[in-house]
Amino acid sequence: MVLERDARGTSEVRNVTPHKLAILLSGRGSNFVAIHEAIRRGDLEAEICCVVSNVPEAAGLARARDFGLTALSLPSRGIERTEYDRLLLGALRPCAPDLVCLAGFMRVLSPVFLAEYRNRVLNIHPALLPSFPGLHAQRQALDYGVKVTGCTVHLVDEGVDTGPILLQRAVPVLEGDTEESLSGRILEQEHDLYWRAIALVLGRMDRGRGEGRGARA
């Protein structure tokens, strides 16, 4: 149920089922928490249907449990990539997510997974792609000596950080920056960027279906 107000303050109740997001993570999960917050604030019209981690002890999974969300541990150690992705597809199927949001998920998804969620998997990367893909993007930026880096939300394809770019935010590299200080400033921007990119994709999906929802900001 969504309460809308027009310019005269007249309210209208629409019976809309929110879009469902599945979150995949492997670690602390601050991007997941930021998405959860955006939904709670009412900035992002969606619901998190499940949070899955390939690392059972991931802090993000514990946060998901604290929030009362469906939180699944699906350990990946020792499991071949395609086989794992089939397990992952099976775990997601009951919740039928509209989008799958990678939030520090430290695995490359296989073609088997992407075939089922073509153009519906998003990732956030701590650099201005196509610069500095892969691991330790902030360190790569410092080592290269760039003066501006940032973060990117993109659709996931079969490559590593190669999919179509949705949104980017620039972050200046400051004199004396360490990997930690730079990562912290980029992370702040990630938290404000990811939910906006999700809203953008949901809005596009709705327009494709002739509806109009996704973001309130």
Q: Can you give the binding site for ligand GRF, defined by CB under 6 A?
A: 25, 27-31, 60, 103-104, 124-126, 187, 190
Q: Which of 19, 125, 154, 191 is catalytic?
A: 125
DSSP 138-171: HHHHHHHT-SEEEEEEEE--SSSS-SPEEEEEEE
For the CB of residue 13, give the shortest distance to ligand GRF in the complex, in Å: 35
- Residue number, nearest CB to ligand GRF: 104
For the CB of residue 154, give the shortest distance to ligand GRF in the complex, in Å: 11
| Nearer Cβ to ligand GRF (40/93) | 40
| Nearer Cβ to ligand GRF (104/214) | 104
Respond yes or no: is residue 154 known to be catalytic.
no
For the CB of residue 33, give the shortest distance to ligand GRF in the complex, in Å: 8
Q: Pairing mode, if any, of strands 11-14 and 148-155? A: unpaired
| Nearer Cβ to ligand GRF (21/213) | 21
Task: Please provide the distance, in angstroms rounded to a whole number, between the alpha carbons at the two ends of the chain.
Answer: 18
Cis bond before residue 130 (omega within 30° of 0): yes
Q: List strands edge to edge, sheet with 46-53.
A: 71-73, 46-53, 19-25, 99-102, 121-125, 148-155, 165-172
Annotated catalytic residues are 125
